[in-house]
Structure 1
Amino acid sequence: MQENWENKHIVFFDGECGVCNFWVQWILERDKNDRFLFASLQSDFGQKFLSERGLETKVFNTLYLWRPGQYYYVKSRAVLQIANILGGVYKLSAAGKIFPAFLSDQVYDLVSRNRMKLANQKCFLPDREQKKKFIEV
C-alpha cells in the first residue's frame, strides 16, 4: 500500500460516522484516476498524522486532505480541494473558494455538529478493489 504515495491524496475521516462513510464511498465511486487513499482518524496512521501536526487526537469532527510530503487541507477547504481533484463537473465547486475559509468552515461545522442525526447508521463495507485504497496501519 505504501509503495507509491507521491501522486496520492489521503483523506482522513471519522471512521465511526455514517455521514463521513457516505462521503468516502461517494469519493471512491468517482475517483476514476485513482488519486485518493483513505484513513480513519481513529487508526494508528490517522493518530500519527494528527499528533505529528499538533492537531486534536480525541475529537474526530474534522476532515483532512493530505498530500504526503507537502500540504494538508482542513474542513471546507479539504472538501473543495477533493472536488477539484476529482475534476469534471466537480471542479465547479472551486467557486466556493471565493468565500473566506472562516465562513465556509461555519457551514462545515454546522453539518459536523449534526452529522450523527443526519447519518444513516448503515456500515459501509468496501469491496475488494476499494479496500486497497484504505490505509490500515
Structure 2
Amino acid sequence: MTGSWPDDDVILYDGVCIFCSRWVRFVATRDIERRFRFTAIQSPYGTRLAQAFGIDPDDPDTNAVVHSGVAWFKSDAALTVLSSLPGWRWTRALFAVPKPLRDVAYSLVARNRYRIFGKYDECFVPDAEMRARVME
C-alpha cells in the first residue's frame, strides 16, 4: 500500500485486458451496495491515478484499488475488493498467506494475462448500468 487519493473505492484496471475487464464485471455484479467505481488505466482519470501511484500506464503490472483512503496493489488490491463483497468476506482469511507468496501468484497471472486471456483492440465498453460507475 502506498499514498492516498481523494476519491475512495475506485478500482484501477487495464481496460484492454479481457481478464481485467471480466474482473470488473465480476465485482460490479456482486457489489450490491454499488460501493466500487471503476477506471481504465487508459482513460485520462485512470492514467492520472496510475501515475500518482507509480504504475506505468503503458505497461501496467498491477491493478489497484483505493479503499478507506489507502491505495492497495497486486494481491492486496484483489483481496481488499473481494473481502468487501457480500458472500466473499471469507477471502479475508487469505491475507494470512504471506504477501510475497500471494504477489508471486498475482504477478505470474498479470505478466501472462494477454497471452492466456487475450486482449481487446480498444477499452471494453461497459453496459449502461455500469457506465454510471465508470470514472474517466
Equivalent of 1:119 in 117, 120, 123: 117
Secondary structure in structure 2 of the residue aligned to 1:23: helix
What is the distance in 2 between the residues matched to 1:104 and 1:67? 19
Q: 2:92 aligns to what?
A: 94
Give the alignment's Cα RMSD to 1 decimal.
2.1
What is the distance in 2 between the residues matched to 1:124 and 1:46? 14
Judge conservation of contact 2:14–2:60 (CA < 8 Å) in 1.
yes
How many angstroms does 1:117 deviate by?
Answer: 2.3
What is the distance in 2 between the residues matched to 1:32 and 1:129? 13
How many angstroms does 1:46 deviate by?
Answer: 1.3
Q: 2:3 aligns to what?
A: none
Residue 56 and residue 106 in structure 1: after superposition, are their counterparts in 2 closer, same or farther (change >3 A)? same
Q: TM-score scaled to structure 1, two decimals?
A: 0.84
Give CA deviations for 1:23-64 in whole Å, capped at 9, x if unaligned: 111111111011110001121111111222334333122110
How many angstroms does 1:97 deviate by?
Answer: 0.4
Residue 111 and residue 99 in structure 1: after superposition, are their counterparts in 2 closer, same or farther (change >3 A)? same
Q: 2:77 aligns to what?
A: 78
Letter of the 1:24 partner, please give it: V
* Unaligned runs of at least 5 residues, structure 1: none
* Unaligned runs of at least 5 residues, structure 2: 1-5
Letter of the 2:51 partner, please give it: S
Q: TM-score scaled to structure 2, two decimals?
A: 0.84
Secondary structure in structure 2 of the residue aligned to 1:135: coil
Secondary structure in structure 2 of the residue aligned to 1:61: coil
